[in-house]
Amino acid sequence: MIRYKILTQLLIIPYSLHLVPFLSRFSKRIFMKLSTRETVHSVIIGLITISIISCTKSESIVNTSEAPVDNSLQIEKKKSDSIIQDSIKRAAERIKFSSFLFPKNGKDSAMAAFSKEFTDEEQYTILALNRLDRKNRWRADTLIIPEKIETDFLRYSPFPARLDSLQAVKKMVFFSYAIHAYALYEGGNLVKWGPSSLGKKSTPTKKGLMFANWKKEVAISTSNSEWKLRWNFNIHNTAGIGWHQYDLPGFHASHSCLRLLEEDAKWMYTWADQWILANQGQTVAAKGTPVIVFGEADFTTKPWLKLLSDPTANDISVEEMNGVFVPHLEEILSEQKNSEELRSKQLLSSEKEKGALRNKKEAA
């Protein structure tokens, strides 16, 4: 009876696991052919084997049902790692600077020494790094001089070389109040940067998102009719704000406009897109290239002088740049889409008109 009870209890286990339903059909035949002791031994061995198989299958099921990896977390981690690596790389590649002094009592002799030591091209680069044009170099008291004067001005850029979040934007303009500089991006890649002089404390430049409107090779200032603004590109029609060539004195000095070196203003004049007007110029059908003015300035210090002790002092991080434009990204992309569609229609219409004119001439 004891052996029979043990055998019965052992048989209940595989039945409850639904792993050996065949035992119900063949158990009687097996018991008839085997002795009681042999039966017990056979069943125990069989149960051990079944238990091993059961554990293996169970583990397999658990493994295949694991939650999928969160790809968004991996993407964010890669972006974070990329930003860190970019910062490290930029710090490692930073060019060091020394100072060139212009004492009050010996400025003429110092300027003569400066002109003798550096070529015109090198002077242009040095003055640009100090936010000066050639006309205003006499204002210099201390100039930062790079240890290596590069022909590619991008090597000195304080802006990130790449902004992944800006990839979908065809063209983008930034003006930094804090470091007196501008930056141009195409598809998230930095293509140009340079010095700028924005609105002085009493007449500050409007900050935030704006768009390029109209342009004129020579515009007359609304503040003073004697001021001729070359390569002017308006970005705020009602306030009369635009970027253009004018004096770069090494500090913020404008009446709210964005001053540039003439070479830069001329380059941007052909690079940026204007608005598109409709209804005989009464309404804006499409906006031009997006522009963001950002950052704070204390109007008293020259931030580039900090490069003497820290070559990365003026660097603007990817995170900071993302904070500047990402909140406006939806509007920027919406205006870009509208502009592209309208310009495409205009181009198609223009091609049709040219084709019709050719056909008319051939027919005549």
User: Do 265 and 231 form a contact (C-beta atoms < 8 A)?
Assistant: yes
Residue 93 lies in a domain: no
Question: Could you tell me which of 305, 21, 355 has the C-alpha nearest to residue 143?
Answer: 305
- Cα 336-337-339 angle, rounded to 5 deg: 65
Q: Is the pLDDT of residue 19 over 80?
A: no
Residue 173 lies in a domain: yes
Give per-residue pLDDT as tens, 144-188: 999 999 999 999 999 999 999 999 999 999 999 999 999 999 999
- Cα 143-146-148 angle, rounded to 5 deg: 150
Mean pLDDT over each residue of the chain, to the nearest integer: 83
Question: Could you tell me which of 248, 244, 252 has the C-alpha nearest to residue 272?
Answer: 244
* Count of CA atoms in the C-beta half-sphere (13 A) of 240: 11
pLDDT at position 359: 81
pLDDT at position 53: 43
What is the rounded CA–CA span in Å between residue 233 and residue 241?
A: 9
Residue 198 lies in a domain: yes
Residues 198 and 308 placed together within one structural domain of the fold: yes
pLDDT at position 88: 57
Residue 354 lies in a domain: no
Residues 38 and 171 placed together within one structural domain of the fold: no
Give me the percent of the chain exceeding a pLDDT of 70.
74
Give per-residue pLDDT as tens, 309-342: 999 999 999 999 999 999 999 999 999 999 999 9
User: Do 125 and 150 form a contact (C-beta atoms < 8 A)?
Assistant: yes
Residues 167 and 47 placed together within one structural domain of the fold: no
Q: Show the tokens assigned to 272.
A: 């940026």
Q: Is the pLDDT of residue 63 over 80?
A: no
pLDDT at position 350: 78
User: Do 339 and 286 form a contact (C-beta atoms < 8 A)?
Assistant: yes
pLDDT at position 16: 43
Average pLDDT, stretch 252-265?
97
Q: Which of 40, 56, 72 is the last residue of a domain?
A: 56
Give me the percent of the chain exceeding a pLDDT of 90.
66
pLDDT at position 67: 52
Rounded to 10 degrees, what is the CA torsion of 305, 311, 317, 318? 130
pLDDT at position 349: 79
pLDDT band at 218 (very low <50, low <70, confident <90, very high): very high
pLDDT at position 43: 40
Residue 42 lies in a domain: yes
Residue 120 lies in a domain: no
Q: Which of 20, 37, 56 is the last residue of a domain?
A: 56
Residue 121 lies in a domain: no
Count: domains in the chain: 2
Residue where the block lists tokens 């406006």: 328
What is the rounded CA–CA span in Å between residue 48 and residue 21?
A: 16
Residue 226 lies in a domain: yes
Q: Is the pLDDT of residue 10 over 50?
A: no
Question: Could you tell me which of 151, 154, 157, 156 has the C-alpha nearest to residue 121?
Answer: 151
Average pLDDT, stretch 84-97?
70
pLDDT at position 78: 59
Q: Is the pLDDT of residue 106 over 70?
A: yes
Domain that residue 201 falls in:
157-349
Q: Which of 30, 56, 82 is the last residue of a domain?
A: 56
Specify the pTM.
Answer: 0.75
* Count of CA atoms in the C-beta half-sphere (13 A) of 216: 12
Residues 37 and 166 placed together within one structural domain of the fold: no
* Count of CA atoms in the C-beta half-sphere (13 A) of 144: 21
Q: E strand or H helix at 324, and its extent?
A: helix 318-325
Q: Is the pLDDT of residue 45 over 90?
A: no
Residues 183 and 317 placed together within one structural domain of the fold: yes
Residues 196 and 49 placed together within one structural domain of the fold: no
Q: Is the pLDDT of residue 344 over 60?
A: yes
User: Do 134 and 124 form a contact (C-beta atoms < 8 A)?
Assistant: yes
Average pLDDT, stretch 56-66?
43
pLDDT band at 20 (very low <50, low <70, confident <90, very high): very low
CATH of the domain at 299: 2.40.440.10
295 dihedral zone (left: phi>0; alpha: psi -120 to 50; beta)? left
Residues 327 and 200 placed together within one structural domain of the fold: yes
Residues 35 and 168 placed together within one structural domain of the fold: no
